[in-house]
Structure 1
């Protein structure tokens, strides 16, 4: 199976390979991707792992035993493709560990023609480190291809000599164009709440989340943020959902720029 992939980070070889291979089997025809706005699609994403294993992390064994909440949780849907407008995508994830660790971010483009996943963006410099809470990464110089599906991954580097033990999570997303009606509505308003609700109604997960996480704690936007985070929490284990929701909604938000 590994031969269908372009070179991926060696920590993904055992798990990510199977996910991407399965995505090849689940790939749909062009007709099946169409929807009412030519943007949304009902086809399931490849089986992704929106959160790291609950017991693996960079904390000590004693610290890790205090909570089974995953060490890394991507703020993204896992049962469907999270959609984003193609220009300047924003990604967000939660890190449980209190200490600051080296992080690595990767974005892969899935080429349906060649049946390959191609690395298009990687961040792993010494200044790219974690903070406890929600981290928001804005990639202002990156524009995605409309209609293209992507996989994105965040990894905490606990031990550079043992990358297979690093906690990581991966999610699927799709880049779409702005529907004409939505574009017109967005141009008619400068109100961030109205824009967030328009994005939410259009199923643009990443654009909705970006506004919700950048709000100055205005009550309506806080409610929207909490609603989105609750959706993320429902994708965790049943016994952890309430605890995860509480931790996510009370997390400090850290804005990153690259």
Structure 2
């Protein structure tokens, strides 16, 4: 099992070629994160893991033993394509480790027909480091293609000389257009909560998360933000749900800009 996981991660870091076949080597059930209105049931994504495996991560053994919460939790669906808009995609994830570690972010375009992927964005410089809590990455210069599918991955670099031990998580998303009726309603409202709820109703997961988390000082979004984080926690292992919910809802939110 260990060798299979190492082999999978090595492939994921390069180009995710033949992703579905490789991900099956994990022999683990897919965790259903953020189960909302699943209108993609006829178009299942490749098997993905919205949480990192194991509990050790980059922390010491004694630190890790105090909590079994995954080291990385992506704020994203895993059993369906989370829908996003083409312009300025925003990604969010939770990091448990209390120390700061170098991170690596990768975005792949996924071909549903060939089951292959190509790297379109990678961030892995010395200034790209983790902080404990929720991290938000906005890519204002990144234009996604409507109708295309993408995979995104976050990895913590515990030991650059031993990459097989790095915790990582991956999720899939699909780029869609804003429904005309929603677009019309959005043009008539400047209320941030109403706008967020319009995106939520349209099942635009990533846009809803972006507004709920990026407007951290907006009191009217408090309940929506709590609802989203509790929804993510619900998708974790049953025995960890309450612990994960507490960790997510009490997290500091860190904004990243690239």
TM-score by length of 1: 0.85
Quick check: 1:128 aligned with 2:120?
A: no
Q: For structure 1, which segment, 156-165 or 223-232, has the greater mean C-alpha deviation from structure 2 after superposition?
A: 223-232
**1:18-167 pair list within 5 angstroms:** 19-21=19-21, 40-42=39-41, 43-167=43-167
Q: Is the 8 A contact 1:103 1:130 kept in 2?
A: yes
Aligned equivalents of 2:113 and 2:66: distance in 1?
46
User: Is there any run of 5+ residues in structure 1 with no aligned partner, and where?
Assistant: 1-7, 24-38
Aligned equivalents of 2:166 and 2:22: distance in 1?
23
Q: Is the 8 A contact 1:22 1:46 kept in 2?
A: no
Aligned equivalents of 2:180 and 2:22: distance in 1?
34
RMSD of aligned alpha carbons: 2.2
Quick check: 1:206 aligned with 2:233?
A: no
Aligned equivalents of 2:12 and 2:64: distance in 1?
23
Aligned equivalents of 1:97 and 1:184: distance in 2?
43
Instruction: Using the TM superposition, give the Cα deviation of residue 113 of structure 1 relative to its aligned residue in structure 2, in angstroms.
Output: 4.5
Aligned equivalents of 1:106 and 1:169: distance in 2?
11
Aligned equivalents of 1:11 and 1:161: distance in 2?
17
Aligned equivalents of 1:109 and 1:237: distance in 2?
29
Q: For structure 1, which segment, 200-209 or 71-80, has the greater mean C-alpha deviation from structure 2 after superposition?
A: 71-80
Tell me the SS of whatever aligns to 2:186.
Answer: helix
Which deviations, in whole Å up to 9, do the C-alpha atoms of 1:151-201 show, x marking residues without a partner? 100000000000010000001111111111111111111111111000000
User: Is there any run of 5+ residues in structure 2 with no aligned partner, and where?
Assistant: 1-7, 24-37
User: Could you say which residue in structure 1 is the equivalent of 2:234?
Assistant: 234
Aligned equivalents of 1:115 and 1:240: distance in 2?
32
Aligned positions, number: 235
Instruction: Using the TM superposition, give the Cα deviation of residue 12 of structure 1 relative to its aligned residue in structure 2, in angstroms.
Output: 3.1
Q: Is the 8 A contact 1:83 1:173 kept in 2?
A: yes
User: Could you say which residue in structure 1 is the equivalent of 2:28?
Assistant: none
User: Could you say which residue in structure 2 is the equivalent of 1:196?
Assistant: 196
User: Could you say which residue in structure 2 is the equivalent of 1:256?
Assistant: 256
User: Could you say which residue in structure 1 is the equivalent of 2:215?
Assistant: 215
